[in-house]
Structure 1
Amino acid sequence: MTSSFAPDSLVLNRKLPLWYQVSQSLRASILGRSPDASLRLPTEEQLAGHFGVSVLTMRQALKELEEEGLITRHRRRGTFIDPAARRASPVRLLGSIDAIVAQQSGEHTTILGHGPEPVPGDLAAYFPQCPQVVTYRRLRRDGENGEPTNWAHNTVRPEVAERIDLADLERWPMTKVLRDAVGVDIGRITDTVEARLADPVTAELLQVPLLSPILHYTGIAYDGAGQVVDVARIHYRGDRFAFSVTVEAR
């Protein structure tokens, strides 16, 4: 049985254009829809009432989604989601190193840059008595010339970075490189996922509008002795990923 399409609610920010906020919220709802959701959207009036905006603002938001190819609009028939609109892939935190490695993987990885840097102030607590760290920036795509899906910024202890082969980073996620290629005994990883707005760097790399929603993942990897060896910060496109957590009841 097909369920009706229900867009998420939205708290509007008066500093941004209303049509843009509505279009981005509706965009995320379309790409994050359940597999059995109806492809037919509510009417313009119903959507305007749901978001608390005028019908004119709603039409402008729908026009943006139509130009993007996510919806089609038919006179007298209504507005429909394009069946080809890709649903979001979940970011799953399942509690194992292998699950994290699988989540960080991508079809094609490009190294944007790497090198030593002073320890950033917000990471100083993780690298005590360590004047410098080595950072790695990488972009992942769906295939060599495909759409960008996420970009990663890793901060690694220098003595560990000395043993990292860049060729491995083009094939594998950092966690796998540290564990399987460098031989680091990873004891645990602490994960945090939060919603953010795309800054200029992220917007350009992921080819999304400035201030559009993204998922920001931070993973802090500790070795067996409890020392931080890597801080990974990964920026996922909000229209391609969703946050999912599995909790075992027993």
Structure 2
Amino acid sequence: MTTPKFAQIKQFIVDKISSATWQENQRVPSENELSNQFSVSRMTARRALSELTEAGILTRSQGLGTFVASFKSQSSLLEIKNIADEVKERNGNYSCTVLALESLPAITSIAIALGIKVNSTVYRSVLLHNENTKPLQIEERFVNPTFATQYLQQNFTLLTPHEYLSNVAPLTQATHTVEAIMPNKQMCQWLNLSSQEPCLQLIRRTWSSNGIVSYARLVSPGSKYRLGGHLTFKNNN
């Protein structure tokens, strides 16, 4: 099967970033430049850039262009916490339901997010985190087996993926994208939502010192979950 042109452009850009040919904050070719280089329409080039921007790999600035996103940790804005610890801090009773734990070939979007080749083996887990037996958050995570060879052998009712990965591939960097979404039918069933209410979706990629470890999507009902942070500003006086 022939790889679609927009996917070829995405892989080209990711390869340039993964090989360090293009550095953080470096400007990438424009829609016009990519459309000429790959002999495609501007719409096709725009789709490639837009999807990479949505994945947090690129960032776009109106009037300036598209740039390689910074992969520095955003913990000063959004602290990465273990959800089990969050529940316990509220004196809640944490539990987890494992919905899926499997090995599968990486589709294009996942391969790009993890910086690996399309159809490479990845590990996938889908967990339902509960507080006081009530559904709190769906976690779908894709993991690069290179950094967590025993991922599929873990009992995630006893420890979270965050805990396990922090031990075998200590977190050094992370990116986050947060948005409001409407859940699909499956999400409503898992989260026990009687009707479709807005949910909070967090897309997170994490790095260890040797590369991208995981790509996760965390979805929580808007009425049950919130994100917060604390900023400290230096006094220049």
TM-score by length of 1: 0.54
Deviation at 1:229, TM superposition (A): 0.9
- Kindly indicate whether the alpha-carbon contact (under 8 Å) linking 1:199 and 1:210 is maintained by their aligned counterparts in 2: no
Instruction: State the match for 2:110 in structure 1.
Output: 123
SS at match of 1:100: coil
SS at match of 2:81: helix
Q: Deviations over 1:64-117 (max 9, x none)?
A: xxxxxxxxxxxxxxxxxxxxxxxxxxxxx85399x4233465500111111111
Task: Determine the C-alpha separation between the residues in 2 that align with 1:96 and 1:247.
Answer: 7
SS at match of 1:160: coil
Task: Determine the C-alpha separation between the residues in 2 that align with 1:209 and 1:158.
Answer: 37
Instruction: State the match for 2:230 in structure 1.
Output: 246
- Kindly indicate whether the alpha-carbon contact (under 8 Å) linking 1:198 and 1:210 is maintained by their aligned counterparts in 2: no
Task: Tell me the C-alpha RMSD between the 2 structures.
Answer: 2.3
1:101 aligns with 2:89: no
Instruction: State the match for 2:125 in structure 1.
Output: 136
Q: % of aligned pairs identical?
A: 16
Deviation at 1:243, TM superposition (A): 3.0
Q: How many residues align?
A: 151
Instruction: State the match for 1:197 in structure 2.
Output: 182
Instruction: State the match for 1:177 in structure 2.
Output: 164
Deviation at 1:215, TM superposition (A): 0.4
Instruction: State the match for 2:172 in structure 1.
Output: 187
Query: Which letter does structure 1 place at the counterpart of 2:157?
Result: E
Deviation at 1:193, TM superposition (A): 1.4
Task: Determine the C-alpha separation between the residues in 2 that align with 1:122 and 1:114.
Answer: 19
Task: Determine the C-alpha separation between the residues in 1 that align with 2:75 and 2:171.
Answer: 16
Q: Deviations over 1:109-140 (max 9, x none)?
A: 11111111121332221232361211001111
Q: Deviations over 1:160-184 (max 9, x none)?
A: 34223422x223332221122xx21
Gaps of 5+ in 1: 1-92
Query: Which letter does structure 2 place at the counterpart of 1:228?
Result: I
